[in-house]
Homo-oligomer: A and B are copies of this chain.
Amino acid sequence: MRAPAVVLLSGGLDSATALAVAQALGLDPHAMSFRYGQRHAAEIDAAIRVARAAGIEDHRIVDIDLRAFGGSALTGDLPVPEHRTPTEMSSAIPVTYVPARNTIFLSFALAWAEVLGAADIVIGVNAVDYSGYPDCRREFIAAFQRMANLATKAAVEGRKLTIHTPLIWLSKADIIRRGLALGVDYGLTRSCYQLDPEGRSCGRCDSCLIRLKGFAEAGLPDPAPYAGGS
């Protein structure tokens, strides 16, 4: 019997790949997505498509209202920057940073893991191609894992939790190659910060630029739809 694991699934390129890696490792993924004031339900649609294509039977979508606090372009308070160069992207924490987002997501994953009796959480954070978010760094994940192992009944009773970050040191091109080898259909995924209502990516925000660069470096076309035509 495969061991249950909670996999955080945004519907983007990274989390779809992390899900495929979790399955390749022999885990039984239970997928968790969040509605948190994204501009479009199209992001959740992508997560649902990805989970379905991967044959995930248990996919929970949790509503959380990060807009109550404000403070990020991704929750609708500030404009999303476009056409930035890699140097501009890496020079400071971007306005698309959502306060404590991964901390909140991992906290819900921890609660669900405890209820499922799961000893594993999988998150597709990546520290290479986009290091501007403090909560995508390995030292943050390690500190969360230490905290989690003091937080729960399961941990107190000796069942230790591991947070897996299978993509953390991979380049975007390597993530794409890994996912394709595992059969991921990237046409189902969306990475854009400002998807249009039809679920097409803008091709101009940081996330689109990094994704397109990754496909270019991998020598492949991005199968996802872009608003200007891909």
A residues with CB within 8 A of B: 60, 62-66, 68-71, 93, 97-104, 106-108, 110-112, 114-115, 134-135, 137, 139-140, 143-144, 146-148, 150-153, 155-157
Interface hub of A70, A106, A151 (most chain B Cβ within 10 A): A151
Name which residue of chain B comes closest to A157, CB basis.
B93
Docked Cα-Cα span, A65 to B139, in Å, equals: 29
Whole-angstrom CA separation of A99 from B69 in the bound complex: 24
Bound Cα distance A103, B106 (Å): 9
Contacts of A111 in B (CB 8 A): 66, 69, 98-101, 103-104
Query: A69-B111, A100-B148, A143-B143 are known contacts; what are 19 more A-B pairs with Cβ within 8 Å?
Result: A60-B69, A63-B65, A68-B112, A69-B112, A93-B157, A99-B112, A99-B114, A102-B151, A103-B107, A103-B148, A104-B104, A107-B107, A135-B150, A139-B150, A143-B146, A143-B150, A143-B151, A144-B147, A147-B147
Cα–Cα distance between A111 and B66 once the two chains are bound (Å): 8
